[in-house]
Amino acid sequence: MSQSVKLARFENIMEQEIAEYMALPKMMAKHGEVKLTRDDVMRVVGRLFRLRMDVNLVSNVLDTPEIFWSEDELQGLYNAIRGYLEISQRVKLLNSRTGVISDLLDMLSDHLHGSQMTMMTRIVIFLIVVTCIVASAEVYVKMLLERRF
């Protein structure tokens, strides 16, 4: 029962995350961009990864309690209750939900990285143009000075 309660807590956290970021795909479809910074995306990725770690590694939701190692006759009851509470299916669903949101955030991160690269490329092009203008002006001034003398 405690595993089910822990899992319900994790499911509630996931529902909050889903509700918070449900509008992102709609915003992307409508406007072609999302008003999130790279730091915002990384915070969400961190929260989702922490949730996934809590479910799969930290909590004992997937473990069989130690009492059932010494009390074999209770193992069947434990498995029946676990099946009734659908612990394994709920964990799989929770993991698939975190996977879907992680995919969305990966796409956003890639988009933000691409936007930054575009800006950096524009800056480099601008600096090359400025360098060419300065070099051309220098050559022009040298030509004018050579004509004078």
From residue 146, alpha-carbon distances to 24, 134, 141, 149 in Å are 63, 18, 9, 5
**Helix, strand, coil % in the chain, rounded to nearest 5:** 85, 0, 15
pLDDT computed for residue 59 by the predictor = 66
Nearest to 101 by CA among 64, 142, 46: 46
Instruction: State yes or no: pLDDT of 2 exceeds 90.
Output: no
Nearest to 8 by CA among 87, 74, 80: 87
Residues 140 and 80: beta-carbon distance below 8 Å: no
pLDDT single digits (tens) 131-142: 999 999 999 999
Single-letter amino acid code for the residue at 108: L
pLDDT single digits (tens) 56-110: 766 666 666 666 667 777 777 777 877 777 878 888 888 888 888 888 778 877 8
Residues 99 and 14: beta-carbon distance below 8 Å: no
